[in-house]
Amino acid sequence: MYISDEQLHAMELCIYDGIKVQVEGLGGERISQICRCTGSQSWRGGDRRNDWVWVKQRPGRCYGALNGRLPWQLQRLFKIKLLNEDGAFVEYWLALALTTIPRNSGNLDTISKFVQGRKAPAAVASQGFSLRNVVGCAHVILEIATISKTGDRWKERWIVNSHIDLATWNDVYNW
């Protein structure tokens, strides 16, 4: 998509600290989940809050038990309004997130029965994407006992908590 100088000067940018995502409940009903993202700002007087979300990946990528989606940590939520050729504004809801890579191709760990992930390499550690690719909130736990030092770089690993809600449980274990 090409953006002209005129469109760029007329562009509006709004930053948000949360989005509401519609997910399918166990009975087929639609349930709202709120995903928060404060960037570097504090959340209600405490630490910053940048939630984890499930992000659909491009078709053909399965990632084992994760069914074509990965947990990414939100860093910024925003809406861009661009002026189109007809003189009307078109809205794009976008996010910037820290990405992860599944360990063991996204298959369940043989001992813990959880999917594990790690930080993506620096070249792809942050990615922008359309909020249409967010399919729900994710719960990811830092695996403190397995932080290992390689050279001067720390490698963080996470456990994807598939037991947090029944919808996630069914997505991971009943595929």
- DSSP-assigned letters across all residues of 123-155: GGSEEEEEGGGEEEEE-EEE-GGG-EEETTEEE
pLDDT given for residue 85 in this prediction: 76
Per-residue pLDDT of the chain (175 residues; tens, 9 = 90+): 667 777 777 788 899 999 998 887 767 788 888 889 988 887 788 788 899 999 998 887 778 888 888 999 999 999 999 887 787 888 999 999 999 888 888 888 888 888 888 888 887 889 999 999 998 888 888 876 444 555 434 467 888 887 665 566 555 555 4
pTM for this model (two decimals): 0.78
Tokens read off for 149: 């030092």
Pairing of strands 89-98, 69-83: antiparallel
